[in-house]
Amino acid sequence: MPDTVAVIGLGRVGLPFALFLADRGHTVYGIESNPAALAEVFKQNQSGILGMLVAILGILLYLWFRFEWQFAVGATVATLHDVVLTIGFFSLTQLDFDLSSVAAVLTIMGYSVNDTVVIYDRIREMLRRHKRMPISDLLDLSMNSTLSRTVITSTTVILSLLGMFFFGPEAIQSFVQAMLFGAVVGVYSSAFIAAPLLIYLGVRTQGGKDEAGKSGAATPSPAGARP
């Protein structure tokens, strides 16, 4: 008896399998019944994905020249984290991934990078101002000093998106839902991924370097080792 089948990840393997099921009376989600329309959708998505990859490359180059390498790596990881989670959101919710969805991913990337750059600029300012403060305390101070700006900005964005979600047309629903998800994820990644990564990447204040040197000097030498 024919049933409903959802095919995820249409490609060279998934598309023939989906067409095989459709020919035998199964209802298959994720493909168009018109082959010409299906080919056009694939063509549009390929162009959009190519544009998204070029935009990601441009953002990574900007981050590389904008910051020291530790900050560049942290911002890159946070940005890629947002992109991967947003694409996963589309996969889990089965929203249509069209050109408006590509625009949502690019907008989320820009939003996340902007928030990360603001926090990183404050961290670099605090590094010059508080040279003896432990790095963990300095990161807390930097994020707290930008917290009001982050809350006000993210709240304004989310309220605007909620208005579009409840009163906007159906054509923009995938864009709006992705943006709502990305607005939350972007703030989370900037505060809880990009900033703490600096500790693991070796960013230290002068006080932290002195403490590390003292702890290394105080470590007893192994038994039998020469002084």
Strand partners of residue 27 = 4
Predicted pLDDT at 158? 92
**41-73, pLDDT tens digit by residue?**
556 566 766 777 787 788 778 877 877 888 888
Which residue ranges make up each domain of the chain?
1-31, 44-209
Predicted pLDDT at 21? 55
What kind of fold does domain 44-209 have according to CATH?
A: Multidrug efflux transporter AcrB transmembrane fold (1.20.1640)
Least confident of 18-22, 146-150, 157-161, 166-170: 18-22
Q: Are 190 and 78 in contact, with CB atoms under 8 Å apart? A: yes
Torsion, Cα of 99, 100, 103, 108 (10° steps): -140
pTM above 0.85, yes or no: no
Tell me how far apart the alpha carbons of residues 16 and 103 are, in angstroms, rounded to a whole number: 29
Predicted pLDDT at 124? 87
Least confident of 10-19, 55-64, 164-173, 179-188: 10-19
Q: Residue 116's closest CA among 157, 160, 77, 61?
A: 77
Mean pLDDT of 178-185: 91
**71-126, pLDDT tens digit by residue?**
888 888 898 899 899 988 988 888 877 778 888 888 888 888 888 889 988 988 88
Is residue 10's pLDDT more than 60?
no
